[in-house]
Amino acid sequence: MYSLSVLCGTRPSDRGTEALQNTESYPSAPGKTPVKLLRTFEPRVVAVIANAVHGAFPPHTFRDDGLLVVNPEGRHPIFDMVERAEKQWEQKLKAASKTYLQAVTEYRRRYRRSPPPGFDRWWSYVKKNGVQLPDEYDQIYHDLEPFWGIKTVDLKAIQREWEDHRDSYTLAKKLPNDPNLRRELLTGAYQMVELMEAVQHLLPPFRAVFSPHDNPNVFVAHALKAAALVAANSQTKIRMRDLPRPHYNGWLSACSPNSSALVSSDPAPPDTKTFIYDHRATMDVCNHPTLLRQHGQLLSHGIGPGSLHSIVPQFSYSSTSLHMDIHVTPTLSWVDDIPRRDDPKFEDKADRRLLWRGAETGIRHDHTKEWRLSHRDRLVAWANELNGTTRVLRSPVSETERVGSGEDIQMSSLNPAMLDIAFAGQPLSCSKSKDQCELLLASYEWRPKQSIAEAGQYKYIMDVDGNGWSSRFKRLMTSNSLIFKSTIYPEWYSDRVAPWVHYVPVKVDYSDLHDSLSFFRGNLVTGQGAHEEMASKIARAGREWSKSFWRKEDMIAYMFRLFLEYARVMSNDRDSSG
């Protein structure tokens, strides 16, 4: 009998993107017949006529890097992003496999190989426990695919070597009399064992090294990962020693030579309004190199660490687009529900400001680090700025109004009315120097910690990364509040959730936050143009998603499938198994 043990040591097409001069159709407002126009009209004149007569709008630009660029002549972009996201989510739900045969066929179509041994047992668990979207496990494929290009003898050697690292623990499906069994009280490790207890008898033997830390650390140069992927795609195997030697270039060494980080800068002018429509795409640091100067995870290492010389199969709580850590389902801070007494319905919440409280984690605060640029430091400084003005898009009363280019509003009027954002309690992430901690107290807004019941009075709540991924996101999504999320960490559920359907994505520079919040809240004084019915709808959908797609059964299904895939890729007969 075996048991689990812990051992320590083509973008979719956009509505209305046809060029006017090449077609006779022009997109109309929702629910209206498309406008037919003569091609002999000068395009700008045609657009004015269409808008005036039929409420039609010229399109915004949906860029391949996940950002929407606002066209001032169009309608408010949030209408477009919500409409688009809801349609794509419904299509994803409708296309999900319903039978085992469909799941196998879809697996082969996506990954060009047969499912791993035990896939039938995994499918039985999925069907028995009502796990939805059984095809959406692309994250596992992307995490493990490079290992298919490396000989298993090398993978096993680096895995054994990695087990001896001080900051690691090993989860193993093994015989009870294994002489290498060691135990240590690691909360996350034993929570994972407890999570998988119900299906451990269905898993194949394996040994997997986990990091107990919040942030990732498997940093590999692009040349190494690309060589492994080429080998995997050609169904060949190379030795670890034959991988190209990395040339130290910090973070940028993980980027493709064709990426924006190494070729060009952001194509949008600095004064152009942009929003996130594809959250995962905007987490790609190589296509958004400005993130290097905006997030503590990246700032902490200056120009970046040196690349590892090997591709290491390590499981971690979080990973960025620059790292190769294998994603898991974190068990820390998971909740099933929030007592209703602590979390009124959205309509009954009294405070219409955006709330955030937290510690100043994300970077070490000492003279060697540029901590003022880190994501949490900037959030608190930005939210409490009272000097100057900022341009904010006007929230329209109806969808038939053009969005315009915004209006300048005094920060002293805007921020106190819209935001309740501050560090909580006392500084934690400062050096031992008393002066450093006092500098943090003087530099930022500090307010008392809040209970869950106190936070439950806010309609809008912000979620932002800490030292790594945000462990509070599950609890926040389970609430009746509308959640705004800023992050650089794709997670295990990223293929199984929809921004603008379940939550509001926020850029790491926060340049879209005033605009998004104003859309839902409306005018600062009168509330005119508020779209709280849409806010309530997204908040409800987010809670329903948390209760239906982020159950313990869903986490088990992900890890079950991950361990099946991992056991196969580490097996000597992996090419013939399936």
DSSP states along 97-112: --SHHHHHHHHHHHHS
The reported pLDDT for the residue numbered 2 is 53
* CA dist., res. 493 & res. 327, Å (int): 10
Geometric angle at alpha carbon 323, from 375 and 502, rounded to 5°: 55
Geometric angle at alpha carbon 97, from 94 and 102, rounded to 5°: 140
Helix (H, G, I), strand (E, B) or coil at 43: helix
In angstroms, how far is the first alpha carbon of the chain from the final one? Answer: 23
Helix (H, G, I), strand (E, B) or coil at 414: helix
Give the helix, strand, coil percentages of the chain, each rounded to 5: 40, 15, 45
In the structure, how many helices (H) and strands (E) does the chain have? 19, 18
Mapping DSSP onto H, E and C, the string for 553-569 reads: HHHHHHHHHHHHHHHHH
Q: Which two tokens stand for residue 212?
A: 């107990």
pTM above 0.85, yes or no: yes
Average pLDDT per consecutive 10 residues, the chain (578 residues; last block may be shorter) = 56 35 34 34 32 64 96 96 98 98 98 97 98 98 97 94 84 59 61 93 93 93 96 92 86 94 69 94 96 96 93 96 97 92 96 97 92 97 97 92 95 97 90 81 95 97 96 97 98 97 98 97 88 98 98 98 97 85
Give phi and psi for 206, each to the nearest 5: -165, 165
Q: 117 and 539 in contact (C-beta within 8 Å)? A: no
* CA dist., res. 171 & res. 203, Å (int): 12
Q: Which two tokens stand for residue 272?
A: 């152009």
- Please report the domains of the chain, with CATH numbers, ordered by start residue: 18-58 (no CATH), 340-551 (3.40.50)
Task: Residue 9: name the closest of 212, 240, 175, 312 by CA.
Answer: 212
Q: Which two tokens stand for residue 454?
A: 């106190």
Q: 352 and 526 in contact (C-beta within 8 Å)? A: no
* CA dist., res. 4 & res. 192, Å (int): 10
The reported pLDDT for the residue numbered 140 is 98
Q: Which contiguous run of DSSP H or E holds residue 194?
A: helix 187-196
Task: Residue 445: name the closest of 513, 349, 381, 537 by CA.
Answer: 381
* CA dist., res. 575 & res. 573, Å (int): 6
Question: What is the secondary structure of 200-213 as a DSSP string?
Answer: GGGSPPEEEEE--S
Alpha helices in 456-551 (DSSP H): 473-478, 513-521, 532-549
The reported pLDDT for the residue numbered 3 is 62
Residue type at 427 in one-letter notation: P
Geometric angle at alpha carbon 341, from 337 and 347, rounded to 5°: 90
Residues 6+ apart with CB under 8 A from 205: 2, 172, 173, 174, 567
Q: 69 and 63 in contact (C-beta within 8 Å)? A: yes
The reported pLDDT for the residue numbered 526 is 82
* CA dist., res. 67 & res. 505, Å (int): 11
Mapping DSSP onto H, E and C, the string for 230-291 reads: HHHHCCCCECHHHCCCCCCCHHHHHCCCCCHHHHCCCCCCCCCCEEECCHHHHCCCCCCHHH
Q: 71 and 58 in contact (C-beta within 8 Å)? A: yes
Task: Let me know if 435 is exposed, middle or buried by CB neighbors in 10 A (0-12, 13-18, 19+).
Answer: exposed
For residue 573, count other CB atoms closer than 10 A to its CB: 9
Residue type at 58 in one-letter notation: P
Q: Would you tell me the crossing angle of helices 119-128 and 100-111 to the nearest 10 degrees? A: 120
Task: Residue 132: name the closest of 554, 491, 505, 534 by CA.
Answer: 554
Task: Residue 201: name the closest of 54, 60, 30, 2 by CA.
Answer: 2
